[in-house]
Amino acid sequence: MPVAGPGSFARSSRSGSGRVQVKTDIRNHRSQRAIAGIGATYEGVRRRYQRRDDGTVRDTVLFSVTAEERPGARTLLERRLGVASSVKNSDSLATARGLCLL
């Protein structure tokens, strides 16, 4: 299961992306709280979006972080992960912490 890390924000900034999109299963309330906790905006539910491993069809909750919101969201995410803002290569650090970055 992919986890968004600070590197996701760095890559989206370098690529000129206007937004980062974050999705989670509608049943995963813990992830929804964590995603909202970094300042991502709730955009709604994509109904019957994809199949789960067990074959059932899931609804997916969609959040986003725009380019303007990115610095604040990245700071909050770094705090939650205990990552220093001064770290140049957050992808490597996050990978060392066992995260698979989007």
Total of domains in the chain: 1
Residue 102 domain-assigned (yes or no): no
The reply to whether 75 falls in a domain is yes
In a domain, 35, yes or no: yes
Q: Is residue 30 part of a domain?
A: yes
In a domain, 101, yes or no: no
- Categorize the per-residue pLDDT at 9 as very low, low, confident or very high, splitting at 50, 70 and 90: low
What are 62-101's pLDDT values in tens digits? 999 998 888 888 888 888 888 755 554 555 444 444 443 3
Task: Report residue 24's pLDDT band, with 50, 70 and 90 as the boundaries.
Answer: very high
pTM of the predicted model over 0.75: no
Using the predicted structure, report yes or no on whether residue 46 has a pLDDT greater than 80. Answer: yes
More confident residue, 69 or 43: 43
Q: How confident is the model at residue 12 (pLDDT cuts 50, 70, 90)?
A: low
Instruction: For residues 38-57, give the mean pLDDT.
Output: 95
Positive or negative: CA dihedral 67, 72, 78, 83: positive
Which range of residues forms the domain containing residue 13?
A: 6-96
**101: amino acid identity, one letter:** L
Q: How far apart are CA 95 and CA 75, in angstroms?
A: 18
Question: Are 98 and 63 spatial neighbours (Cβ–Cβ below 8 Å)?
Answer: no
CATH of the domain at 67: 3.40.630.30
DSSP state of 88: S
